Amino acid sequence: MTARMMTTRAQPAAPFAEVRHHPIVTWGLVLLFWIAAAVLAATCHTRLDGLSPSGGAVAAIASIAGVAYAYTRLCARCAGTAHALSAGIVWLLLAIVTEIAITSRTGHGWYSLIGTPDRPLLRNVVLFVWIFAPSVFTHREIG
């Protein structure tokens, strides 16, 4: 008698960015990438606003957009616009809450994530970038 050999062929694992994640993992990744964007944006504002407020805002916008691109490509490639807008809204809320918390803790205004109220146009642009940057890099409309 010959033993029948069975070969099993393992299916290749789907890339991490193309898998629908558990909601806790998704929000953990949103938080992780927000922390990266916040550190970069705050660094841009604190280092460059003294030289050029416009330059600091442009660098902060570029850093937020870069992190948003990394988030959508590395973690949410198949996510739709609704997911990306939700992530952007959470990013903006975290930025606002962080600025309020640091301002109340230090006793003076801290505007490194959103920008100073002295320049309302740049501040508004940065506010919109926090919300819409992740959705710029999505490919699907629904989801």
- Dist CA 90 CA 125 (whole Å): 17
Q: Report, as an integer, the average pLDDT of 127-132.
A: 94
Per-residue pLDDT for 120 more than 60? yes
Question: How much of the chain is helix, strand and coil, in % rounded to 5?
Answer: 65, 0, 35
Per-domain residue ranges of the chain: 22-136
Residue 12 has what pLDDT?
Answer: 55
Tell me if residue 80 falls in helix, strand or coil. Answer: strand
- Dist CA 55 CA 16 (whole Å): 35
**What is the residue-averaged pLDDT of the chain?**
83
